A and B are shown apart, each in its own frame.
Chain A
Amino acid sequence: MSAKVKEYPGQEVKSEDIKQGKVLTVHDRPNAKYMWSAGIAMSRFLNELKNGRIIATTCNKCERTMVPPRVFCEQCFKPTDGWTYVKDTGTINTYSVSFIAGDASRLKEPIIVVVVDIDGASPGMGILHTMKEIDWKKVKFGMKVKAVWKPEKERTGAITDIKYFKPV
């Protein structure tokens, strides 16, 4: 704030004031629902997850194998050249451990969040997932992990067809 200014605008209110109705509020809820077309690349990716496999696309020019798959190579700006299966194992690129749920309440069991660089894809091609079957204090960078899949009849074609990754 400029030292020349003595008064600065703004009136604070407290959350108790709002809860107790001392501050006039208007409530509304959006009616906003979407059904996104997955498109060519992700439709195939999701269908393959249902089959218990992870699929990637390849670009011959920069020689990358990319997951999540895409129909365009964003580095070369050209269509990707083909599809290839990659493994459902990988290494931990980075991880964090959440003690807070989405609504800001505390979790009894922490969630271990990981970025797993997938084996068979180019280096650093990670996906976001969670990890289980390990004490969070024992997780390490570079640790080898493997996907634990839902049983076939429970898979719907979603990233959660992989339940979590576990240490190898």
Chain B
Amino acid sequence: MFGKKRVAVVGAGLTLFRRYMKETGREMCYEASKMALDQAGLELKDIESVAYGSAPDAFDGMHMKGENMTDASGAWRKPFSRVYVGGGTGVFTADAGWWHVASGQFDTCLVVAEEKMSPCCPHPAQAFTTIFDPIMDRPHGTTLIWIFALEMHRYMHVHGIKKEQIALVSVKNKRNALDHPCAQLGAKITVDDVLNSEIMCWPVQRLDISPTSDGAAAVVLASEDVAKKITDNPVWIDGVGWCIDSTYWTNRDLYYPDYVECAARMAYKMAGIKNPPKEIDVAEPYDPFDYKELHHMEGLLLCRKGEAPKLTAEGVTQRDGNLPINPSGGLLGVGNPIAAAGLMKVCEIFWQLRGEAGKRQVPGDPRTGVAQAWGDLMQYGSVIVMRR
């Protein structure tokens, strides 16, 4: 950690996550940013730089979408940069904010992640057809659910995991989300509900997946000296990591997310974490599908390969378990406005480590938390390690 400045999260903001929001993308950016600033007790003039993240421009129907959002993200006549790594964007934007401050270039950075998926007609899912290789994949009519089902099925096959085991994640997260004020899909469901839900693309069923959503999130980052003036309770960003795997996803064995492990190792090394399951008190891995929480737990080295379903069944990943996973309710419960969902996880770790998560609070005074997001063609892992 030689030569760089320590960076802290000092405030966080979140809008509701809903299928259709009245607000434009700009308005949501403003709402989340304003809330984060207010929470930190800061004004816009205190912000020296802005890091913004959002996933496909195709949803909004705008080219160079980031340029449209500059003012709304507090970047009027300020340095503004956008990062975009598919679904990994939300957590990665916080990583981007980190380097703005850790480089010594700026003392503060406002990190904003926003997604407005609803404008895409007739359904945002169709915008996803454009993420596929035009020669090898698109001509089949490939959809997002097809390929995630391929990954889920491979994971199940290699480890002999059954759908009932995976469904437990959906049950847990939707229930956790009942305690999240912004949640779109908090609900009490059972494993049978999941197993009886409509088959989308076997083995993926309707209750295995997270919804399309609109929403925005923001956090304020500050350098050590400034953070200590703003709050008695800064949460330090001690490690950042990111990794992308080869585009040729059909040449890869999808049973294990190497790219998440690679990103996690980068972050853990920076944070000095040698034994993740012991040293990490709470984790928010990306869960757009229930199997992904398990997949990512293993990639984050929180358990051995194939062991995640067992931990889930034993209740280890419940809020009062030994390793609480997605106490927020995750994407399955809170919603999936892609980039905002990732940053929502960073906000959650922030509140958990400060003991401010209310009904979602994980007991036992958690001090180290990890948030992770996933994106591109089953390629991208972005990780952040936060500590109090």
**A/B contact in complex, CB under 8 angstroms:** yes
CA distance A126 to B142 in the complex (A): 16
Complex-state Cα separation, A12 to B283, whole angstroms = 29
Query: Which residues of the partner chain B approach A38 to less than 8 Å between Cβ atoms?
Result: 135
Q: Do the beta carbons of A96 and B357 come within 8 Å of each other?
A: no
A74 to B247, CA, bound (A): 10
Chain A residue nearest to B135 in the complex (CB): A42
Check A2 against B136 for contact (C-beta < 8 Å).
Answer: no
Q: Can you name the residue of chain B whose Cβ is closest to the Cβ of A99?
A: B199
CA distance A82 to B134 in the complex (A): 24
Across-interface contacts of B31 in A (CB, < 8 A): 9-10
Question: What CA separation (Å) do A160 and B34 show in the bound complex?
Answer: 51
| B358 CB to nearest A CB, Å | 3
Bound complex: CA A38 to CA B182 (Å):
45
Residue with the greatest number of chain A CB neighbours at <10 A, chosen from B139, B153, B215, B250: B250
Contacts A14-B20, A74-B246 given; does A96 touch B150 at CB 8 Å: yes
From the candidates A3, A9, A15, A46, name the one contacting B20 in the complex (CB within 8 A): A15
**Chain A residues, Cβ within 8 Å of B18:** 10, 12
- The A-contacting residues of B in range 88-111, CB under 8 angstroms, are none
Beta-carbon contact of B35 and A5 below 8 Å: yes
Q: Could you tell me the distance in whole angstroms from the C-beta of B35 to the nearest C-beta in chain A?
A: 6
Q: List the B residue with the shortest CB-CB distance to A160.
A: B139
Contact of B251 among A27, A42, A126, A141 (CB under 8 A): A126
Q: Give every chain B residue within 8 A of A101 (Cβ-Cβ).
A: 141
Q: Contact check: which of A1, A93, A102, A113 meets B129 at CB < 8 Å?
A: A102
Query: How many positions in chain A have a CB within 8 Å of any CB in the partner chain?
Result: 56
* Complex alpha-carbon distance, A28 and B356, angstroms: 43
Q: Which of B17, B143, B151, B351 contacts A94 (CB under 8 A)?
A: B151
What are the interface flags for A98-111 relative to B under an 8 Å C-beta threshold, 1 for contact and 0 otherwise? 11111110000011
With a cutoff of 8 Å between Cβ atoms, the chain B residues found around residue A129 in the complex are 140
Residues of B within 8 A of A3 (CB): 351, 356-359, 361
Q: Do A128 and B142 contact each other (CB < 8 Å), given the known contacts A4-B356, A13-B20?
A: yes
B23 pairs with A68, CB closer than 8 A = no
B122 contacts the other chain (CB 8 A): yes
Q: What mask results when residues 1 to 39 of chain A are scored 1 for a CB within 8 Å of chain B, else 0?
A: 111110011111111011000010001101000001010
B310 at the interface (CB under 8 A from A): no
Rounded to whole Å, the gap between the CB of A120 and the closest CB of chain B is: 14
- Let me know if B15 and A9 touch, CB within 8 A: yes
Number of A-B contacts (CB under 8 A): 172
Given contacts A102-B129, A104-B125, contact A124 B202 (CB under 8 A): no
Which of chain B's residues have a CB closer than 8 A to the CB of A103?
122-123, 126
User: Measured between alpha carbons, how far is A61 from B146 in the docked complex, in Å?
Assistant: 34
A130 at the interface (CB under 8 A from B): yes
Q: Is the CB of B15 within 8 A of A10?
A: yes
Q: What residues on B are CB-neighbors of A96 within 8 Å?
A: 146-147, 149-150, 152-153, 201-204
Chain B interface: which size bin? 35 or more
Does B201 contact A11, Cβ atoms closer than 8 Å? no
Chain A minimum-CB-distance residue to B130: A32
Assess whether A160 is in contact with B39, with CB atoms less than 8 Å apart: no
B202 in complex: contacting residue of A66, A68, A115, A136, CB < 8 Å: A136
| CB-defined contacts of B50 to chain A, threshold 8 Å | none
A66:B251 contact, CB within 8 angstroms: yes
Q: How far is the CB of B380 from chain A (nearest CB, A)?
A: 16
| CA A18 to CA B18, docked complex, whole Å | 14
Q: Which residues of B contact A126 (CB under 8 A)?
A: 250-251
Least Cβ–Cβ distance between A114 and chain B, in angstroms: 8
Point out the residue from A1, A9, A100 that lies within 8 Å of B351, measured CB to CB: A1
A113: B residues at CB distance < 8 A? 140, 142, 146-147, 149-150, 201
Residues on A with beta carbons closer than 8 Å to the beta carbon of B23:
10-11
Q: Are A2 and B39 in contact (CB under 8 A)?
A: yes
Q: Is B5 an interface residue (CB 8 A)?
A: no
A158 within 8 A of B: yes
- Docked pose: A160 CA to B136 CA in angstroms: 9
Task: Name the one of A10, A70, A99 contacting B200, with C-beta atoms under 8 angstroms.
Answer: A99
A-B contact pairs, 21 of them (CB 8 A): A1-B14, A1-B181, A1-B182, A2-B39, A2-B357, A8-B14, A8-B181, A10-B16, A15-B20, A30-B61, A36-B134, A93-B253, A94-B157, A96-B146, A98-B143, A100-B143, A100-B145, A102-B126, A113-B142, A129-B140, A160-B139
3 nearest CB pairs, A to B: A10-B16, A3-B358, A96-B149
